[in-house]
């Protein structure tokens, strides 16, 4: 992990253009349909303009309390950096409350994974290497998706699709129950020994999704899973630290890069139960 964290930070971008995320070498393909729910079933693809073969896939799901939000709004510094390095990144809308409730959001997430395995090769991707990621509510969704691979209960009409993922990345995620719907609506309700590796990043000053809702999941998964569970605790960070370039988030992205490299090469990851403490208490971002 240390090698990834020593990567130089783009200080010019952080200081002068913190909200500018686009890169010239990244192609942004907008509004591709993956379901029949109109604009709520659209996704965007970000890929390197050279479209190198065999690229890993990152699927990101936005937050918004399951009742608002859209693709192309969160974690863009992460998405653009990975796409610039040859990844195929997918950012997807999904159906929202009150029109639907759990597990319909999760079913949309599974549909995105199935779409990626079927279509992402058109953009240079390796469909066998899929990482699921999400911010806030999207982290809740990605966490359950990683723990319910190929579960027909969450794949109506596409039961035979492979919805397993290589690993899960959670950014300021809410990891409790879905509006009091019961343990089965929480990632804690789906713990399993063969879970994929998890990278959970959270600010210790998060007042929207408090850390005490996250730690039981991290600790429970560590007790249950045979795979690495990395917890990156960000001192002083509030909710939404992934919205723009900052020293904290760019450093965290370095850690994500190191984590995904380990998953891709050895599937062993960092030592079981490793914690990361990034940034200095009081830093903005």
Task: Give the residue numbers annotated as catalytic, written as ranges.
Answer: 136, 206, 239
Residue 76 to residue 84: CA distance in whole angstroms: 12
Give Rg (Cα) of the chain.
17
List alpha helices for the chain, DSSP H. Answer: 2-5, 11-16, 76-84, 104-119, 137-147, 211-224, 247-265
Q: How many CA atoms lie within 13 A of 228 on its CB side?
A: 22
Contact 196, 165 (CB under 8 A): yes
> Which has the closest alpha carbon to 45: 25, 29, 32?
29
DSSP, collapsed to helix, strand or coil, labels residue 239 as coil
Q: Which residues have CB under 8 Å from 122's CB, separation 6+?
A: none
CA distance readout (Å), 40 to 30, 63, 92, 155: 13, 14, 8, 17
Pairing status of strand 26-33 against strand 42-48:
antiparallel
> Which has the closest alpha carbon to 198: 273, 250, 127?
273
Q: Which two tokens stand for residue 193?
A: 């020994």
Residue 159 to residue 151: CA distance in whole angstroms: 7
Residue 148 to residue 262: CA distance in whole angstroms: 23
> Given 3-state DSSP classes, what are the helix, strand and coil percentages for the chain, each rounded to the nearest 5?
35, 20, 45
């Amino acid at each position: 992990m240390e090698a990834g964290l020593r990567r130089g930070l783009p200080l010019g971008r952080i200081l002068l253009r913190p909200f500018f995320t686009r890169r010239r070498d990244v192609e942004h393909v907008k509004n591709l349909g993956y379901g029949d729910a109109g604009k709520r079933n659209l996704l965007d693809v970000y890929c390197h303009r050279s479209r190198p073969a065999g690229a890993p896939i990152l699927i990101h799901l936005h937050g918004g309390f399951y009742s608002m939000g859209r693709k192309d709004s969160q974690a863009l510094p992460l998405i653009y950096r990975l796409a610039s390095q040859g990844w195929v990144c997918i950012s997807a809308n999904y159906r929202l409350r009150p029109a639907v409730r759990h597990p319909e959001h999760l079913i949309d997430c599974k549909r995105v994974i199935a779409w990626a395995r079927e279509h992402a090769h058109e953009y240079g991707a390796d469909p066998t290497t899929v990482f699921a990621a999400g911010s806030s509510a999207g982290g809740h969704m990605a966490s359950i998706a990683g723990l319910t691979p190929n579960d027909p209960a969450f794949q109506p009409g596409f039961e035979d699709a492979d919805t397993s993922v290589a690993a899960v990345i959670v950014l300021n995620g809410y990891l409790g129950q879905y509006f009091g719907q019961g343990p089965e609506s929480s990632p804690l309700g789906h713990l399993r020994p063969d879970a994929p590796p998890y990278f959970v990043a959270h600010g210790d000053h998060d007042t929207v999704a408090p850390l005490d809702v996250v730690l039981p999941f991290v600790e429970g998964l560590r007790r249950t899973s045979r795979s690495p569970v990395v917890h990156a605790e960000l001192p002083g960070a509030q909710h939404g630290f992934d919205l723009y370039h900052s020293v904290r988030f760019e450093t965290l992205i370095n850690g994500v890069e190191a984590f995904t490299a380990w998953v891709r090469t050895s599937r062993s990851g960092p030592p079981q139960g490793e914690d990361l403490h990034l940034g200095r208490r009081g830093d903005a971002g």
